Amino acid sequence: MSNVQYATLQAVRSELTASRSEDISADVLATLESNIVAASRLIDRYKGVEPGAYKTAGVTATVRYFTGNGRQWLQVDNFTSATEVAELRNEYTALTIDDDYNLWPYDAPAKGEPYRALENERGTWPIRKKGIRVTAVWGVSANVPADIERACKIQATRWYMRALNSWQDSAVNPMGGLNFVQTLDPDVKAILDAAYPHGGGLR
């Protein structure tokens, strides 16, 4: 997931050519694509999500285990789809959606959010270590949300423009080398602050 890109090379290239009269030469495309990957991972870290969490389409479902909490709702990691939920009795027994459990929030796809909890339709989740086994595609979104894509394009583009300007925001460190500002652009932070997740939890 570490190489997942939240914007395409073509999209960022178009962004650059829209603000500059000349086309981008082929010899900088590899660097530009590297910027896109770096911006994508910086976005993940800023939002506190797993690498590639905003683009899970095509990712294989994997198993994770959770301990029951004795309540009707069990909060789990963000996921975009689930293939099985099983409860540990004498052995793991697959549960039936709608009859035994539901994914929560119910309208997560319509809201552009991931599922992040399981609702027990028959009572409460038993308090048992690794008592619930969930096979799911873990992450925030199957396809890159528009705001995340926009943030990635802006960040990758501005890194490129700063490079063209000889990294004028660099500073000489005490050892005689250069330190480069590698934080997110303020405009990007503003976009990300409004993007999901907004703090997580059941709400």
Across 119-141, average pLDDT = 97
pLDDT digits (tens, 9 = 90+) for 87-102: 999 999 999 999 999 9
pLDDT digits (tens, 9 = 90+) for 9-53: 988 888 776 555 455 666 667 778 899 999 999 999 999 999 999
Joined together, the tokens standing for residue 18 give: 């829209």
pLDDT surpassing 50 at residue 202: no
Give the C-alpha distances (Å, rounded to integers) separating 86 from 67, 96, 98, 105, 135.
Answer: 12, 9, 14, 19, 9
**Which of 137, 117, 112 is CA-nearest to residue 196?**
112
The amino acid at residue 105 is P
**Which of 160, 179, 177 is CA-nearest to residue 169?**
179
Residue 187: HSE in the Cβ half-sphere, 13 Å Cα cutoff: 9
Across 144-167, average pLDDT = 86
pLDDT digits (tens, 9 = 90+) for 43-75: 999 999 999 999 999 999 999 999 999 999 999
Whose tokens are 């896109």? That residue is 36
CB-CB neighbours of 143 under 10 Å? 13
Domain ranges of the chain: 9-54+144-193, 62-138
> What pTM, to 2 d.p., does this model score?
0.84
* pLDDT at residue 9 in the model: 92
The strand pairing partners of 171, in sequence order, are 179
